[in-house]
């Protein structure tokens, strides 16, 4: 079995060997996962705690955070513009998928990383599904509480993520030099948990195999 240090170095080497578009795509996935988790912790969990009057602690907090983060990423919208397509060279669904896997790798149930997300691609539906899961986790069934969570404060923060923050992150990446993208991605890879590194290594093997098949066919 590889030591953690060897696993990390082999993952970094595999990342460096990718084509530029895939390097950029992985950096975006790593950044989106970290950024979404930050948004949930700083913006959404405080609203939930205030409305439900139930502090999200320990295992419940981790489960709630992973469900909200997964739902946000699964339903976020990537603008289908030419610069973004050229930057990543991958379908947005693939980027969403690897981001969700990275999030779930460190969730309350890492096995979910290998499963298809249950959340809708529709932003409003995903929000309702996530709220229902939060209420189940907290064992809250009050209709007034449900209505407040579906109200303007929570919805505003939820929509802001998809409408403003993700497009802003994409715009910021378009202005980065590729060498800076690679350096930033390698730094993030160094901080990943062993489970997240395994998920990323598996993804890199898949896309590398796909590229090899395409080259062999030409």
Residue closest to 14 by CA, chosen among 188, 183, 204, 191? 204
Q: Tens digits of per-residue pLDDT, 6-25?
A: 556 889 999 999 999 999 99
**Residue 88: per-residue pLDDT:** 74
Measured at the CA of 128, the angle between CA 92 and CA 104, to 5 degrees, comes to 50
Is the predicted pLDDT of residue 211 greater than 60, yes or no? no
Instruction: Compute how many other C-beta atoms are within 10 angstroms of the C-beta atom of residue 99.
Output: 27
Q: Tens digits of per-residue pLDDT, 184-207?
A: 999 999 999 898 999 899 999 988
The residue extents of the domains of the chain are: 19-217
| pLDDT greater at residue 79 or residue 66 | 66
**Residue 217: per-residue pLDDT:** 39
In this prediction, residues 82-95 reach a mean pLDDT of: 73
Q: Tens digits of per-residue pLDDT, 152-168?
A: 888 998 988 888 888 88
Residues in the chain: 218
For residue 1, what pLDDT band results from cuts at 50, 70 and 90? very low
Q: Which two tokens stand for residue 207?
A: 């896309």
Quick check: 78 and 84 in contact, CB under 8 A?
yes
Quick check: 26 and 187 in contact, CB under 8 A?
no
Is the predicted pLDDT of residue 218 greater than 50, yes or no? no
């Amino acid at each position: 079995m590889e030591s953690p240090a060897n696993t990390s170095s082999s993952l970094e080497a595999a990342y460096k060997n990718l084509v530029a578009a895939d390097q950029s795509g992985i950096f975006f996935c790593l950044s989106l996962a970290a950024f979404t988790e930050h948004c949930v912790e700083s913006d959404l969990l405080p609203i939930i705690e205030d409305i439900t009057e139930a502090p999200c602690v320990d295992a419940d907090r981790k489960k709630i955070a992973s469900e909200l983060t997964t739902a946000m990423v699964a339903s976020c919208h990537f603008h289908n513009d030419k610069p973004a397509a050229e930057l990543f060279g991958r379908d947005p669904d693939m980027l969403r998928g690897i981001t969700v896997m990275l999030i779930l790798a460190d969730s309350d149930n890492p096995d979910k990383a290998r499963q298809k997300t249950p959340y809708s691609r529709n932003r409003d539906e995903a929000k309702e599904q996530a709220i229902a899961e939060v209420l189940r986790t907290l064992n809250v069934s009050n209709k007034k509480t449900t209505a407040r969570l579906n109200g303007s404060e929570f919805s505003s923060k939820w929509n802001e993520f998809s409408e403003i923050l993700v497009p802003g992150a994409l715009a910021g990446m378009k202005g980065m030099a590729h060498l800076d993208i690679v350096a930033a991605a390698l730094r993030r890879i160094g901080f990943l948990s062993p489970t997240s590194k395994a998920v990323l290594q598996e993804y890199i093997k898949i896309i590398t195999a796909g590229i090899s098949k395409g080259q062999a066919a030409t």
